[in-house]
Structure 1
Amino acid sequence: MNGWHVASEEEAARQAASTQQFVDHFLHRDRNDAGKYPSGITLLRDAAVKYHKSPMVLPWLNEKTQRMAYYVIPRQREEITAVRDLLVAFVGPSFAKYGYDVPAALDKPHEAAILKRYGAGSTFVIQATTDTDERRGLRTALERMVEVVERAPVRSWSAPKPLGRLLADFEAALLSGAPQTAQALLQQIDHQGGLSPANVKHLEIRLLAAQGKANEILALRGLREVLLQDPPVPVKDMVLSALFTAYIEPALAEGDLARAVDALKAPDSQFSLLTDGNLLTLSEQAITVMLVGMHGRGDRAELSRSIALLDAEGRGDTVPEALASYRRQSVHADTVTAEPAEIEPVATTEPEPEETPGKAPLNTWAEIVKAVAQGDKTAFELCRRMDVRRSDIPIQVEAVSDAEMAGVFADLTDPEYEAVWQYALGPFLQELARVEVFYPQTLTTVMRSIVNQRCDPANLAVLDLLLELFLRTAPNAQEYTEFLEQMSIGFDQWVAPETAGQALDFVDRLANFASPAPKARIQTAQLLLAPLRVHARRLDEAYLSTAHSLSDELGLRLEWPERVSSESAENKPIVGAAQILIYGLDEGVLQRVQERIIQRFPRVKVVISAEKVASRHLKDAARNSDFSVMITQCAAHAATNCIGRYAKEVVYPRGAGSASVAHAAINALYDLATRQQEISTRRNR
């Protein structure tokens, strides 16, 4: 039964009985030690059954491990965002350090009942500390929240954003390395409606691909139905790349071409639905799968022509060694110039003639952005192809001046800007991140459009990327000061303990790059850190440590407390010897994270990697590490898929800056140490 089903009046009684049964089951003292203490759970238990507007709040306790949590479940799907805002306001981070801002995975045995009734992504799990007073404060805050919401006047919980804006924010979150934000936006898109189920699946595949979750893509429910509907090239590419990671690459690495062919012939591979299309629009991994498929069909002529075409286009290194003999065959006779009708390439920078006859090709970024703003489908498709091939040779587009590009963005209307944000901004910023092209004026113009809007998680993630790209341009003092002044306008609207990660990422980027205007850097850093310093005791340990370090590095002379809570240091597990992998494309961020973790935990070996391919070094590092931290910002799918396949565990930071990455790594190290202690305790009994 779906707990989010909107019941009719006739079903109300059955729904109430079902809710009562569910709550009694979850709180039963035989499976939940919280049930042994009725006085502590009565108010929340009764509210879960009798109330209708406030979210359900169910306590859970394991006396053996002394772990306590509260499961907060919205009554309706569309209330997830509103409940998150309530939890931020009533609970975190004053009374809880984790779980109040992102729904949990629900992968523990006692969570099975919630997962079955409400589904994945439905529930916030707020972890309580071991301190008695803090636990009491958390429970009181949650009880107060339930009472206030239930007694408040009726209001609309869902003031949905336009679908186009949600899609644009989803793309921005992926681009900026904020997968948790992208996941929350995907849930909101699904709940709000407006997209077909197939298109929602396309977005889900895109999110999984960004996280390197190849096996989850192949196991996705409804994947066959999605592929039967001939999805866009990017979706096909992601599925083909998942096949490469899960089946083809391991077989080819062992020289077992027959096993690779057998994997594609398996009914559940879905490869038969992916065999059409143009090779030159695909990524390296997808091309390899297609070539293996041609070999498996015994189509020697097609395979030889395809290899010749790839060689002619400078992409011959995508051909696996096991198929090299076909290249030798292809140099005979006229195979290079033979009819390539089955794999005729689509021009990389101009539309197909039959779709847009007589239309001039798009040769500059200014032309592409203008075309996207005007709804040109050819421009949309070009941007999609750029995104698919971001790990390969980038599509060459003639450069335009910084002033001209800035003018294009400045002249966009609001609806045009929404379209550009969704389709063109990602590939454009990826191009800036990939090549030595400096557009300080353009980046300043785009930044202004963000700070003048509500600074939600997606906007903040993009703002962090814009700051990074701007600082890479080595701006002069005037450009530097102007950018920081404009960016600082919205700080008072979003800097708070619950956004400490984003604020510290910004400060860390300022510290990591040389400053042509030291006074402007100091002033901006102080504006970012001042709200955090006022509420320093609400920061968790990892963020507080980073704030200390950055204040000292920039010479700000700010005083910070030594500890953030009354919970004693003895309650923290001791982090011993371990090895972790930190992956991302910004080597400056990787090095700063490495230095912070080694300085704090000398027995931890930190391996860093910025590789774009699935190299032997990357495989070994992922396989031999206790966990891997993956920064998904502009990452190459070949590398993320490799880590996803070989890592014991993958941790995704909530941002791409070194503060967020170090925070994720430190908390994961504490979790690892806790698990090791629990295993050791069980063995000694």
Structure 2
Amino acid sequence: MASEEPAKQDADLQQFVDHFLDPGHNDAGKYRKGVERLREAAVNHRKSPLVLPWLNEQSQQMAYYVIPRRRDQLTAVRDLLVAFLGPSLAKYGYDVPSMLDKPHEAPVRERYGAGNVFIIAATYDMTERRRLRTALERMVDVVERSPVRAWSAPKPLGRLLADFEAALLSGAPQVSAAILQQLDLQGGLSAANVKHLKIRLLAAQGRANDLLSLPGLREVLLQDPPLLVKDLVLSALYATRIEPALTAGDLAGAVKALTAPDSNFSLLSDGDLMAYSDQAVTALLVGTYGRGETEELSRSIACLYAEGRGETVPDALASYLQLLESALTPSESVDPASAAVEASADLEDIPATVSLTTWGEVIRAVTQNEKEAFDLCRKLDVRRGGAPIQLEMTSDSELARIFANLSDAEYESVWQYALGPFLQELTRAELYYRQTLTTVMRSIVNQRCDPANLAVLDLLLELFLRTAPDALEYSEFLEQMSVGFDQWVAPETAGQALDFVDRLAAFASPVPDARVQTAQLLLGPLFSQSQRLDSAYLSTARSLTQELALGLEWPERTPAQEDGEAVDVGPAQILVYGLDEGVLQRVQKHITQQHPSVRVVLSAEKVATKQLKEAARNSDFSVMITQCAAHAATNCIAQYAKKVVYPRGAGSASVTHAAITALHERAVEQQDVSAGKR
């Protein structure tokens, strides 16, 4: 019986491959000679991934579906595609799995699951198509002949969790998604904890609808998840169901939305009101009103006003409070100050008397695994979009000494729990901690150069340059940061490298020679392999070279050299959202230089304003920089935008590349529609 099971699996695989390559719905199946080698490898190989071609002759669109044979091989297959194809032969799809949302992809999705398959789009040029097919055939042959090996040593669980948080903080949602996938495959976390991280990722991207429809959400909430998870779900409910009703003046409609069976609001309505972010607070107030708990509603609103958070109270409920208070006897009236004291005594997450008053104390407490420090860091994260929680700032020199004396284990703990809230505080308060930033930067440069670290390093560079360092500080920071450039700068990381150069160009330099030298170290490896860069990156590199007078002659890309970029993007309007207005201005400059007919609307709003809604609604697509973004704004954009594009980093080069790529894809789609190919 045991021998029958592999035979059945082989038959199932043969049937799947034959169905996929059936000429009735896949024109690639008509060309037996062109697909036979990959067909045989898909059925007979055991180690190499499946590579299946797909062709639509009417639209002349061709792609290769690269499918890992096991889910735990996803990262290894991605590395193989980067090595064998990279940006030289495949501009897109080789490093990020597809969600498989097209009708003909249903069998693949059912068998292998969404998010576990890479789709390599081929160009229209026949020579380039042959090169791509040859590279893929070579890849499967090499992998199949290679000795059995472990593709990568699994990272420690704590490191993966720390990297996930770091990538979220630094505006690299694709990196966070890849780390989350690795966490899920590697194991070590409960299913509920994996869901918690998924909720965090969806919230950071403003995908409130996807968050509320997440499979297993109700089961997660039944297990009384951490405050942050509850806050994110409440904020999603506010963005998708409550805010539209309140904007229309329909308080009853907002209440009805919360009482719907699929809202799960009944599992979220407990806990301390003042510990939540502004959007979550508004949702809880509407829920309290809907339950008819008038005295509780009155005390809560009074407390919010006493704490300076009265803007979270909807107008309809503020008016209701006035009517309620007029009906109370003097002995029953609510005093805001006493209500605030009473509420503060009920805090679940932070004791009424907090012993941690400075960032230095918080960092030390985190290294000693003190629960109070972890709880405070979580609360700082929850409230990042609401009223700030004041902590005194330790002196720069003392905090730098604390970071410098951390052991590896202590640093990992600080990275996971405290570094994000600390850097967010620096971003908000515009505090100047040059020595501390330099110390943290050294620890990153000397450890590793993975995507999460590069994203944080970009944020550290931005925060350091904001402090207007003197000549010595500037030179030392750039010199130490440059130590690891040769370990990671390559065409595959062109976006990160160009982001760094753009940061240098955006700020005044006290030592122009140091800036030029650092920029040349970053651009040198890209210049030597410029034929592997697409035109969007080349254009940005050319612009930065001219701005900094670097003397590099980047090649021009002609329409014949790069398929998909010969189209005229035509007039369009796009919204670019982020909190760093300097980055937004440079993105606007880069895009309009390349495509003058494109109107770029910028927004750095922290709340869901009428102007932000209109900009998202009227734009062809929106580009969202998630770095330190406020959930109120990101949820608003995702609700009203026709399409949302997420750049791979928070720097202007990455954002510009994401926008221009989306413009080209839109132009190709419009051409196909006008030609009757879709």
Q: TM-score range by the shorter chain?
A: over 0.9
Alpha-carbon spacing, 1:566–1:251, altered in 2? closer, same or farther (3 Å): same
Q: 2:54 aligns with which of 53, 57, 60?
A: 60
Of 9-18 and 364-373, more deviation after overlay is shown by 9-18
CA offset at residue 570 of structure 1?
A: 8.5
**Matching residue's letter, 2:335:** V
CA offset at residue 616 of structure 1?
A: 0.3
CA offset at residue 339 of structure 1?
A: 7.8
Are residues 1:248 and 2:242 paired? yes
1:105 corresponds in structure 2 to 99
Are residues 1:471 and 2:473 paired? no
2:121 corresponds in structure 1 to 127
1:4 corresponds in structure 2 to none
SS of equivalent residue, structure 1 residue 673: helix
CA offset at residue 152 of structure 1?
A: 0.6
SS of equivalent residue, structure 1 residue 579: strand
Q: 1:68-79 alignment to 2 at 5 Å?
A: 68-79=62-73
**Matching residue's letter, 2:110:** K
CA offset at residue 645 of structure 1?
A: 0.3
Alpha-carbon spacing, 1:553–1:347, altered in 2? closer, same or farther (3 Å): farther
CA distance in structure 2 between the aligned counterparts of 1:324 and 1:306, rounded to whole angstroms: 11
CA distance in structure 1 between the aligned counterparts of 2:3 and 2:462, rounded to whole angstroms: 54
Q: 1:574-613 alignment to 2 at 5 Å?
A: 574-613=568-607
CA offset at residue 269 of structure 1?
A: 0.6
Residues 385, 630 of structure 2: 8 Å contact kept: yes
SS of equivalent residue, structure 1 residue 116: helix
Residues 121, 187 of structure 1: 8 Å contact kept: no
Are residues 1:214 and 2:208 paired? yes
Residues 349, 379 of structure 2: 8 Å contact kept: no
Are residues 1:449 and 2:456 paired? no
CA distance in structure 2 between the aligned counterparts of 1:392 and 1:341, rounded to whole angstroms: 17
Residues 172, 650 of structure 2: 8 Å contact kept: yes
Q: 1:27 aligns with which of 21, 24, 29?
A: 21
**Matching residue's letter, 2:533:** L
What TM-score do the two structures reach when normalised by structure 1?
0.95
CA offset at residue 572 of structure 1?
A: 2.0
2:391 corresponds in structure 1 to 397
CA distance in structure 1 between the aligned counterparts of 2:446 and 2:532, rounded to whole angstroms: 28
Instruction: Show structure 2 runs of 5+ residues with no match.
Output: none
Give per-residue Cα distances to partners, 1:229-250, cap 9 Å, x unaligned. Answer: 0000100000000100111000
Are residues 1:336 and 2:335 paired? yes
CA distance in structure 2 between the aligned counterparts of 1:290 and 1:9, rounded to whole angstroms: 59
Q: 1:160 aligns with which of 154, 172, 178?
A: 154
CA offset at residue 675 of structure 1?
A: 1.5
**Matching residue's letter, 1:606:** V
2:551 corresponds in structure 1 to 557
What TM-score do the two structures reach when normalised by structure 2?
0.96
CA distance in structure 2 between the aligned counterparts of 1:79 and 1:156, rounded to whole angstroms: 10
Residues 278, 343 of structure 1: 8 Å contact kept: no
Residues 66, 119 of structure 2: 8 Å contact kept: yes
1:356 corresponds in structure 2 to none
Q: 2:39 aligns with which of 36, 40, 45?
A: 45
2:455 corresponds in structure 1 to 461
Q: 2:637 aligns with which of 610, 629, 643?
A: 643
Q: 1:634 aligns with which of 616, 624, 628?
A: 628
CA distance in structure 1 between the aligned counterparts of 2:343 and 2:103, rounded to whole angstroms: 53
Instruction: Show structure 1 runs of 5+ residues with no match.
Output: 1-6, 354-358
Of 376-385 and 560-569, more deviation after overlay is shown by 560-569
Q: 2:650 aligns with which of 656, 663, 682?
A: 656
CA offset at residue 326 of structure 1?
A: 3.6
CA distance in structure 2 between the aligned counterparts of 1:348 and 1:441, rounded to whole angstroms: 36
**Matching residue's letter, 1:74:** P
CA distance in structure 1 between the aligned counterparts of 2:354 and 2:542, rounded to whole angstroms: 56
2:401 corresponds in structure 1 to 407
CA offset at residue 394 of structure 1?
A: 1.6
**Matching residue's letter, 2:34:** G
Are residues 1:388 and 2:382 paired? yes
CA distance in structure 1 between the aligned counterparts of 2:340 and 2:555, rounded to whole angstroms: 70
Give per-residue Cα distances to partners, 1:613-643, cap 9 Å, x unaligned. Answer: 0000000000010100000000000000000
CA distance in structure 1 between the aligned counterparts of 2:582 and 2:228, rounded to whole angstroms: 30
Of 435-444 and 321-330, more deviation after overlay is shown by 321-330
Give per-residue Cα distances to partners, 1:108-134, cap 9 Å, x unaligned. Answer: 111111111111210111111112111
CA distance in structure 1 between the aligned counterparts of 2:242 and 2:614, rounded to whole angstroms: 18
**Matching residue's letter, 2:283:** V
CA distance in structure 2 between the aligned counterparts of 1:64 and 1:537, rounded to whole angstroms: 31
1:200 corresponds in structure 2 to 194
Give per-residue Cα distances to partners, 1:6-50, cap 9 Å, x unaligned. Answer: x98652222111111111111111111111111111111111111
CA distance in structure 2 between the aligned counterparts of 1:570 and 1:204, rounded to whole angstroms: 34
2:294 corresponds in structure 1 to 300
SS of equivalent residue, structure 1 residue 656: coil
Give per-residue Cα distances to partners, 1:151-192, cap 9 Å, x unaligned. Answer: 111101241100000000000110011111110100000011
CA offset at residue 340 of structure 1?
A: 5.5
1:345 corresponds in structure 2 to 344
1:81 corresponds in structure 2 to 75
Residues 446, 484 of structure 2: 8 Å contact kept: yes
2:673 corresponds in structure 1 to 679
CA distance in structure 1 between the aligned counterparts of 2:524 and 2:346, rounded to whole angstroms: 53
CA distance in structure 1 between the aligned counterparts of 2:480 and 2:296, rounded to whole angstroms: 56
CA distance in structure 1 between the aligned counterparts of 2:82 and 2:603, rounded to whole angstroms: 35
Q: 1:166-181 alignment to 2 at 5 Å?
A: 166-181=160-175
CA offset at residue 531 of structure 1?
A: 0.4
Residues 303, 340 of structure 2: 8 Å contact kept: no
1:482 corresponds in structure 2 to 476
Alpha-carbon spacing, 1:360–1:218, altered in 2? closer, same or farther (3 Å): closer
CA distance in structure 1 between the aligned counterparts of 2:388 and 2:624, rounded to whole angstroms: 23
Q: 2:504 aligns with which of 499, 506, 510?
A: 510
Q: 1:281 aligns with which of 275, 278, 298?
A: 275
Residues 536, 564 of structure 1: 8 Å contact kept: no
CA offset at residue 452 of structure 1?
A: 1.3
Of 513-522 and 591-600, more deviation after overlay is shown by 591-600
**Matching residue's letter, 2:108:** I
**Matching residue's letter, 2:18:** D
SS of equivalent residue, structure 1 residue 585: coil
SS of equivalent residue, structure 2 residue 89: coil
SS of equivalent residue, structure 2 residue 98: coil
CA offset at residue 69 of structure 1?
A: 1.1
**Matching residue's letter, 1:532:** L
Give per-residue Cα distances to partners, 1:282-317, cap 9 Å, x unaligned. Answer: 011100010001111111101000000111111111
1:429 corresponds in structure 2 to 423
Give per-residue Cα distances to partners, 1:39-89, cap 9 Å, x unaligned. Answer: 111111111111111111111111122211111111111211111111111
Q: 1:229-268 alignment to 2 at 5 Å?
A: 229-268=223-262
- How much identity, in percent, do the aligned residues show? 69
**Matching residue's letter, 2:15:** Q
SS of equivalent residue, structure 2 residue 391: coil
1:118 corresponds in structure 2 to 112
Residues 438, 477 of structure 2: 8 Å contact kept: yes
CA distance in structure 2 between the aligned counterparts of 1:670 and 1:19, rounded to whole angstroms: 37
Residues 278, 346 of structure 1: 8 Å contact kept: no
- Count matched residues: 673
SS of equivalent residue, structure 2 residue 669: helix
CA offset at residue 338 of structure 1?
A: 9.4
CA offset at residue 567 of structure 1?
A: 3.1
SS of equivalent residue, structure 2 residue 674: helix
